[in-house]
Chain A
Amino acid sequence: MNISRAHWFRTPLAALALSLALTASLANAQKLLTEEGGGQALVALQRMQSNSTAPTPHNADGTPDLSGLWGPDKNFMYDITSALKPGETLPLQEWALKASKGHMSNEDPNVRCRPSGIPRMTPYPWKIVQTPKLVVFLYEGGPHGYRQIFLDRKEHSKDLDPTYYGESIGHWEGQTLVVDTIGFNDIFWFDGAGHPHTEKLHIVEHIRRPNMGHLEVDVTIDDPGAYTKTFTVYGHMNQLLNTEIMEYICDENNVDLPHIVGKDSRK
């Protein structure tokens, strides 16, 4: 069988290992990057990363072309606190702080193969397919799903059904794609640490491709139901070369869920 990268981390074993990291401190999570487990997925992807500083590709209409295969940002996986500017803290409301401390790995919607929402990522490739009126994100992980960003409308729909990815409308401001999303459900967590949100969530992303190999995604999170003020987390992703999205069906043979047991190491 000719597989371009190690297959085993496609299995729920990776999800299990990732989940074991979720109740650990950030320091422990960093250690996992070089150990068996979900960390190996990231290590494998790092080998396929591009660090190219060649100029940003552009479309005929002058807009940057964001299309391509991208890796995840680990700061959007374990704990989004690590994606804040240094010295900042997450402005959680009291109930949200309590809720996040109470969240256990075996309740994590990701472990049940639900979509990750925004900005959470899984340790697998994702692809941007850009057309003039619609940008699509394809995810290898989660339920192997997609997200749509509409560039051909200026206003959100009224009375949206709450969904994992909400309704995203985007427009270009110079070289930056600005994406405004509302209509989220409150099911997904922002990260493995379990930071919650409500249906009041309103996210604005600023997406830039400063050069060929790099993507920058600033995610401004505005949720007056769970946070005391608006805050921004910063993501950096690398292009992936010479590989392609594999079919990873999280729901298939998900035998790890009953094995996620044990004490909360934070207590």
Chain B
Amino acid sequence: MNAAIILLLLAPSAMFAQWLDYPTAGVPRAADGKPNLKAPAPRTSDGKPDFTGTWEPEKNKPCPPEGCDDIQTPWEFANIGWSVEGGLPFQPWALELKKARQARYSLDDPATQCLPVGIMKTHTAPLMKKVVQTPGLLLILSERNAMYRQIFTDGRPLSVDPQPSWNGYSTGKWEGETLVVQSNGFREDGWLDRGGTPATDALKMTERFRRVNFGRMEIDVTVDDPKAYTKPWTVHLVQTLALDTDLLDYICAENEKDRAHMNSK
């Protein structure tokens, strides 16, 4: 995957502008005044771990050479299955589809058309997200297109016959310290990464959110999509807390000049 193309298609127009730098409230400090990101996770008034915060994916590529880019993407951004032993259990047609998508340099990625990227890519994209936790509803706000995702934690069941959507329908419940979120209602033409790993409308996704400590959130995502894969598979995604900053406007379709230059050669 051509890194230059990734950068071209990702570069927000506001990349070099001023970052909002209002200090984050309630950050636990070490004796020397520095933020203590390993302090325990905060809790809500009803005793649950509080996921509220501004998060970005952990930079897991070593620098040098992989992780020294301007915009660091985690391995999972280009290839969600990079950590899965033996590779992803593709159905044969799904593997062929992924190869075809890569052969066209991911031109057909909905992200290239400024369309929504879906749950998995929102976790792995090098853009910030804000989690807002309330008793019956968890929100994930994403910088990209000022998009949001609702996760209902009010006990409602999954939809029985949902209308296909980019972000699906999510309902979550607590299992001890872990928020277990189930989602269904996805479209049939999903991309789980920049490299074109497919997902279909048969997808049932399970995310297990844990705030391990103040500065670290781990999300185990299980993909159960029998149309595209021969068995379910799980990836372990890590998010790190971003301090003293906030979400910026990134409106993908604004001043969009690249599409006219792209061809599949």
Contacts and interface: CB of A to CB of B under 8 A. Distances in A.
B20 A157 contact: yes
Contacts of A249: 115-116, 166
B18 A160 contact: yes
Interface stretch (B82-90, B132-140, B205-213): B132-140
A27 interface: no
13 contacts: A115-B146, A115-B251, A129-B132, A131-B132, A143-B145, A145-B147, A148-B246, A157-B20, A161-B248, A163-B249, A245-B150, A247-B167, A249-B115
B14 A161 contact: yes
B141 to A, nearest CB: 5
A115 B254 CA distance: 11
A245 B167 CA distance: 12
Contact of B114 (A152, A159, A161, A251): A251
A158 B21 CA distance: 10
A182 to B, nearest CB: 13
Contacts of A138: 139, 148, 150
A1 B163 contact: yes
Contacts of A164: 146, 249, 251
Contacts of A144: 116, 145, 147-148
Given A157-B21, A164-B249, 16 more contacts: A67-B134, A112-B253, A114-B251, A115-B251, A129-B134, A129-B137, A133-B25, A143-B251, A143-B253, A144-B116, A145-B145, A146-B147, A146-B148, A148-B246, A153-B22, A161-B249
Interface residues of A, number: 38
Contacts of A113: 253
B260 interface: no
Interface of A: 1-3, 7, 67, 112-115, 129-131, 133-134, 136, 138, 143-146, 148, 150, 152-153, 157, 159-161, 163-165, 167, 245-247, 249, 251-252
Contact of A148 (B21, B141, B160): B141
The 9 A-B pairs at the shortest CB distance, nearest first, are namely A145-B146, A247-B165, A163-B249, A161-B17, A146-B148, A2-B161, A143-B145, A146-B141, A159-B18
B139 A251 contact: no
Contact of B22 (A3, A129, A157, A245): A157
Interface string B143-177: 00111101000000000110101110000000000
Contacts of B91: none
Contacts of B146: 115, 143, 145-146, 164-165
Nearest to B44: A131
Contacts of B18: 159-161
A3 B164 CA distance: 11
A153 B253 CA distance: 31
Contacts of A134: 132
A233 B163 CA distance: 37
B247 interface: yes
